[in-house]
Amino acid sequence: MADCLLRCALCGREFNPESRVKTCPDCGIDGTMHVLYDYDEAKKRMGRKELAASFDFSLWRYSALLPVKEGARRPSLHVGWTPIYSVSGIAREYGVREVLVKDDGRNPTASLKDRASCIAVTLALQEGQETVACASTGNAASSLAGFAANVGLRSVIFVPEAAPAAKVTQLLVFGANVFLVGGDYAATVRLAIKAIERWGWYDRNCAINPFLVEGKKTCAMEIAEQCGWDVPDKVFVSVGDGCIISSTYKGFYDLHRVGLIDRVPQVIGVQAEGASPIHRAVQSGARTVVFGPSRTVADSIDVGAPHNWAKALNAVRSSHGDTVAVSDGEILAALAELPRRSGVFAEPAAAAAYAGFVKMAREGRLQASDRIAVIVSGNGLKDVVAAQEAVSPARKIAPDMAALENALGLEKA
């Protein structure tokens, strides 16, 4: 672990990480923290030569820029170094130089959230905690439940009662203590925060605990390394609470600080039209985000009150990026199109990132020279009900060749 400090994303006040401050006392819950390192020291330990010689193909290959002590007990589940695919057919269709699909649904519990949970349980063990807890729309919850089970920690999970059954079932099979909260995501988070404060559980809420974004940023680091350190021009990320987009920027930022890449890509945030407070703030030039009700088929980004809004806005603006909002219809169309063209099955929230790319391409907002990366943050098996809405039903036929020939529109031989 490199030496690090915490800096408030709003006022810039700095804190020692040993203080266990989560958010800035002056700015309140909106004062989320950046984790900053001794980049000169990290550069000595994590150069191209060192990484090329490493056989640790997991998120731990970037441990020089992770907030975990050397020798700390880690989960045995393999996290990271997920595949990235160059899909030439998509690039040709939409008139760009290259489209890369980063399939983070290949992590142990099938989402990018495993990167944060891996760090969370490692730090919980490091601190001698016995219980870890979080509020989630589904993926972070199932991720924490799986990783807690792997290391023998108790997990307490709060999810909105509208969470997809497949995600809730995943929590239960991992042995989590699951509470379905009557209300939206914001109400679920409020209850979880109160419970964590009362009972002193380890907080796996990524928008509150600053160290968890550090796990998620390794997805961006992998993209850079898998591209031979020649980073894409634009990286499309779906946005809910703002954690993944801020972590994507942070990963590239850290690599740039240690000299592994020569520039930071533009980070493009994609929100559902029915849950787009960060998009509205970016497009209006606002310094803050206005919260409100939300509704979208993409449950993982169904967030009207994003807690990590400050770092999300910073990610877009510091990378000279942009945002785009997509309709539920566009999300479902992308959910059907992406696997047919790439072989990668995305859940609705992950498909939103691809939908944003498609929309910007059709609107002429991309260049022919652009190299694009799309982060698929969760596997489509997380929400098969939504997938069923995106496709036509299978055809039923009688068990004979005549019926099959008729269904296929073929003439009898």
Binding-site residues = 139
Question: What is the Cα 213 distance to its own chain's centre?
Answer: 9
238-116-322 Cα angle (round to 5): 25
Q: Which residues contact 387 (CB under 8 A, 6 or more apart)?
A: 335, 336, 345, 380
Binding-site residues for pyridoxal 5'-phosphate = 139
Grouping H, G, I as helix, E, B as strand and the rest as coil, residue 402 is helix
Residue owning tokens 């942009």:
322
Q: Are 211 and 123 in contact (CB under 8 A)?
A: yes
Q: Are 137 and 160 in contact (CB under 8 A)?
A: yes
Rg of the Cα trace of the chain?
A: 21
Q: Which residues contact 166 (CB under 8 A, 6 or more apart)?
A: 381, 382, 383, 384
Q: Are 114 and 107 in contact (CB under 8 A)?
A: yes
Q: Tell me whether residue 334 is exposed, middle or buried, using C-beta atoms within 10 angstroms of its C-beta: 0 to 12, 13 to 18, 19 or more.
A: buried
What is the C-alpha separation between 247 and 217, in angstroms, rounded?
A: 4
Beta strands in 72-139 (DSSP E): 84-86, 98-103, 131-135
What is the C-alpha separation between 139 and 118, in angstroms, rounded?
A: 13
